[in-house]
Amino acid sequence: MESSREGMRTLWISLLVLGATAAVQAVIVALSGSVALLGDTLHNAVDALTAIPLGIAFVLGRRAANRRYPYGYGRAEDLAGIAVVATIAASAALTAYAAVDRLLAPREVTHLWAVSAAALAGFAGNEWVARYRIRTGRRIGSAALVADGLHARTDGFTSLAVLLGAGGAALGWHVADPVVGLLITAAILVVLKDAAREVYRRLMDSVDPALIDSAHLALRGVAGVLGTGQVRMRWIGHTLRAEADIVVDARLTVVQAHRLAVAAEHALMHAVPRLTAATVHTDHTPAGVDPHAALAHHHVRP
């Protein structure tokens, strides 16, 4: 709940900052006719609007699990990540179309100082939002929010590219503005690739292998655990769930083995960031065999 509230707060503050930036830029686009600034404005507007699907996902994620959705609604964030990727792709297509159209039908860009000021404002607003979103996304474990932050960061650098177009136009190079628009399109495609990869990995239940290694170390550090078998994790929203196999002495009673499984679960929860639930299965060494000697023949990680 606290993570969702923090994510929502980040989204709404970002929406206000980027919305104000895009509104100012839109006025200057109407005055100057700069296609490069138009592309930057569209990108900023789209980036602001991505707060809507992410906000819906955070609200859904607060709903309690039920019989139909026994793991809750945390995966709504992954669907929101798809929406973010789609909006990035749409902004790239719109910017490319405007740039090509301006190359085919050149038009003089006016109010160059205003265009330059709008570009600097766009960079400042996007960089602030990018740092805020990425920092919050990594803290609460939201891949969609991190992807959106990367999107905002690219917007900031494309805003600086608008300065190049304004400079070229000031020198009389009329194609500078649409050429910069095409460069902005290329930059958007780069961040599209990174954001799509991040969201794809989350959809495919990818986790950092270092987390799996940390889990094995934590389990083997529990007194009474003789070895570990398979450890699996998956993201559900911005929290992790785990399943782990441990090997215990066959001479333990059911109650003792259960207590050991609970201790192993607690060790996992403390060792792995963002892990909120774990299921630990106990396996045992062959009956009547020394447990340490049995490990040499058992397919586990000692």
Whether 212 has a pLDDT exceeding 90, the answer reads yes
| Superfamily holding 209-294 | Cation efflux protein, cytoplasmic domain (3.30.70.1350)
Which residues make Cβ contacts (< 8 Å) with residue 234, sequence separation at least 6? 205, 207, 240, 241
3-state secondary structure of 206: coil
Q: Cα-atom radius of gyration of the chain, to the nearest Å?
A: 26
pLDDT for 189 equals 85
What is the spatial distance between Cα 226 and Cα 4, in angstroms, rounded to a whole number? Answer: 39
| Contact status, residue 202 vs residue 74, Cβ threshold 8 Å | no
One-letter amino acid identity for 154? T
For the chain, the domains span 2-203, 209-294
Q: Label residue 208 left, alpha or beta by phi (over 0 means left) and psi (-120 to 50 means alpha).
A: beta
CA–CA distances in Å: residue 159 to residues 88, 115, 150, 246, 272: 16, 10, 14, 53, 39
Round to whole Å and give the CA distance between 219 and 269. Answer: 10
pTM for this structure? 0.68
Q: CA 10 to CA 40: how far, in whole Å?
A: 22
pLDDT tens column, 3-48 = 667 777 887 888 888 888 888 888 888 777 776 677 777 777 777 7
- Tens digit of each residue's pLDDT (9 = 90 or more) over 130-159: 888 888 888 877 766 777 787 777 777 777
Model confidence at 114: pLDDT above 90 = no
Q: Which residues contact 290 (CB under 8 A, 6 or more apart)?
A: none
Q: Answer for the pair 43, 161: CB distance below 8 angstroms, yes or no.
A: no
DSSP state of 246: E
How does pLDDT run across 272-300, given as a tens digit for each residue?
988 988 999 999 877 655 555 555 444 45
* Backbone dihedral angles phi then psi of residue 278, each to the nearest 5 degrees: -150, 140
User: For position 4, what pLDDT does the model report?
Assistant: 64
Residue 243 has pLDDT above 90, yes or no: yes
CATH of the domain spanning 2-203, picked from 3.40.50.1370, 1.20.1530.20, 1.20.1510.10, 3.90.320.10: 1.20.1510.10
Q: Other C-beta atoms within 10 Å of 138: how many?
A: 14
